[in-house]
Structure 1
Amino acid sequence: MKYPYESVVINEEVPMLLLMTSVRYVAMHWHDRIEFLFVVKGKIQVLVGSEEYSLKENDLLLINSNEVHGVEASEDNRVLLLQIPISFIKKWHQNIEVESFHCQSFIESEQGMFNYIRLLMIRLMLTLRKKELGYEIKIHSLLLDIVYHLISKFRVSNHKQINRNNSKDMERLTRITNFIQMNYMHPITLNEIAENEGLTVPYLSRYFQQRMGQPFVKYLNGIRLEQAVKYLLETNWPVIQIAMESGFSSLNTFHKLFKDTFHTTPYQFRKNQQKTLNNSLKNEVKGIESYEYTEEDDFNELEKYIQRLEIIN
């Protein structure tokens, strides 16, 4: 299991990102894609701006393009994740860049329109998995069906706006977050970034909180924590080396933040993940560099899931 899943390249033949994955920690970020998170197993916490959502099995959440969001989980989970590029939708719906959508299954009692999205997402995954003759055509068909359903059922009306950053904010936030991601292993201060941006420290502190939905220090520690999780999964380095390489000032600071987030120690986290990997048959996704995901059993479960949804619908 490799992170971040956001690094995956979307190609022309399959114009989407679709993964069945187990999420542990993904720091706050944004992209020009509409994203669906469908929890198949377990629970995850999703932060969208300043809003936090606790998603459990069967919950479906849409994240609009350029909405700042992050994900974390303290228990085993399986999430079906779909990202559709705005550039793909724009070919058929030119106003997509100014549209917003509201799709949160966990706040609605009637699940019919959400079940249809769930059904299409699972069909997409099974189609991509089987890769039968002409599967690219089927994927385009299913994607367009999702887009149509999205526009007809989940479009936000003019009187209700979803808070998203504008292009100027995106440029500034991109500079700031790129700087943090390139220098997280070193001491970074708000003073340093404020000087780079020609802003006062108080203004930058408020600006970052408003646009990213969390304080600068929390975001910085989130980036460091994300790197630490990668090191725990991908190396056999001692925990103290991982803490230092990830930019934490001390082992105690790293331990406290890790335990507060995942409710376990770094050592036990690594041990549990290694045990899971040793007991699972992993399959590498072709075309996605260095990313491994899911077990064969997951696809058997999806086959059963789709049968239940088809009966309901």
Structure 2
Amino acid sequence: MNYPYESIVTNKEVPIFLLMTSVKYVGMHWHDRIELLLVLKGRVRVFVEREEYLLQENDLLLINMNEVHGVEASEENRILLIQIPILYIKKFHKNIEKERFQCESFNYENQESFNMIRSIMAKLMLTTQAKGEGYEIKVQSLTLDLVYNLISKFKIKNHRHSKLKSKKNIERLTRITTYIQQNYMHPLTLNELAEKEQLTVPYLSRYFQQHMGQSFIKYLTDIRLEHAVQLLSKTDWPVIQIAMECGFSNLNTFHKVFKKTFHTTPYQFQKLSKNAGMCKSKKIGIENYNYREEANYNDLYKYLQRSIYHY
């Protein structure tokens, strides 16, 4: 699955993913990284496990490793996103896999600790873009400083481990979601998946809902929508062809689902995307990522000025 971020990998020593971008849709997924999302402009809706957050400008949210999450937005936005692999942190903090963090700036009046995180994130992005002499050293320093602040200020004590963290569940869900991602264009059914996994349909339905935070039908529809967004943004194909290519049974169904999610029609979305030059592709690292990269970094400086944190 291609996500509209995760595009910049600094180097093997500090393998963080870092990007300032706009996002339309990212289906539910998980990974073994800590993810921080800062909204610079507009609003985005983020789904984490069974929770739903409407993030607005300046809101900061942390997503723990292996937490199932997705993003959608129906208006223009700009976000700063950073992902730090658990294996990298483990070199400095051996028990990181057992830790969980809660960093939700919108739930607190006192923003001092959150301003610290915002400032470090902004500095990381600006340092990476400037690429001055020895910038790799600064990036590592800032990354470790970010991790230190998370451990010292945002760690949850006496938390319960997520069931998704068990190896068996991760392997099963990986098989299931991979199969869906490979066959979304076909009339895929829960019965087919249950037979493949040698499970009953009712059990698989409950299992999927419990671990993915949504039904099988909702997840399958979201995968189809995600691919439809990419085709609408990148091609001049007729809308009906895109609907069929992405597995929707008919144009009316596609139109209804798309409008409910994005508050516009597929045709209008395609037209606006074409005018805005919305999406471009780059090959960075080991995968292709499709995203709209934002080159204006002025929004980041306010976080350096606002924070009490100085470099």
TM-score (structure 1 length as normaliser): 0.92
Q: CA deviation at 1:162?
A: 5.8
Q: 2:152 aligned with 1:127, yes or no?
A: no
Q: 2:104 aligned with 1:85, yes or no?
A: no
Q: What's 1:308 paired with? A: 306
Q: CA deviation at 1:295?
A: 3.7
Q: CA deviation at 1:68?
A: 0.4
Report Cα offsets for 1:109-168 as digits up to 9, x if no partner.
11000000000000000011111111111110000000000000011101x336351221
Q: How does 1:58-137 map to 2 (within 5 A)?
A: 58-137=58-137
Q: Distance in 2 between matches of 1:182 and 1:39?
A: 32
Q: Quick one: structure 1 residues 171 and 253, their matched pair in 2 at CA, closer, same or farther if it must change by over 3 Å?
A: same
Q: What's 1:209 paired with? A: 209
Letter in 1 for 2:104: Q
Letter in 2 for 1:259: K
Q: CA deviation at 1:276?
A: 2.6
Q: CA deviation at 1:187?
A: 0.8
Structure 2, gaps ≥5 residues long: none
Q: Larger relative CO (CA 8 A, sep 6+): 1 or 2?
A: 2
Letter in 2 for 1:214: Q
* Percent identical: 60
Q: How many residues align?
A: 308
Q: Distance in 2 between matches of 1:301 and 1:267?
A: 32
Q: How does 1:254-265 map to 2 (within 5 A)?
A: 254-265=254-265
SS at match of 1:54: strand
Q: Distance in 1 between matches of 2:210 and 2:281?
A: 40
Q: What's 1:234 paired with? A: 234
SS at match of 1:94: coil
Report Cα offsets for 1:235-277 as digits up to 9, x if no partner.
1111001001111010111000000000000111122223333
TM-score (structure 2 length as normaliser): 0.93
Structure 1, gaps ≥5 residues long: none
Deviates more, 1:200-209 or 1:14-23: 14-23
Q: Distance in 1 between matches of 2:47 and 2:135?
A: 34
Q: How does 1:1-313 map to 2 (within 5 A)?
A: 3-5=2-4, 8=7, 10=9, 11-158=11-158, 160-161=159-160, 163-165=162-164, 166-277=166-277, 289=288, 291=290, 293-296=292-295, 298-310=296-308
Q: Distance in 1 between matches of 2:57 and 2:240?
A: 35
Contact 2:48 2:68 (C-alpha < 8 Å) held by counterparts: yes
Contact 1:283 1:294 (C-alpha < 8 Å) held by counterparts: no
Contact 2:7 2:19 (C-alpha < 8 Å) held by counterparts: no
SS at match of 1:129: helix
Q: Quick one: structure 1 residues 5 and 212, their matched pair in 2 at CA, closer, same or farther if it must change by over 3 Å?
A: same
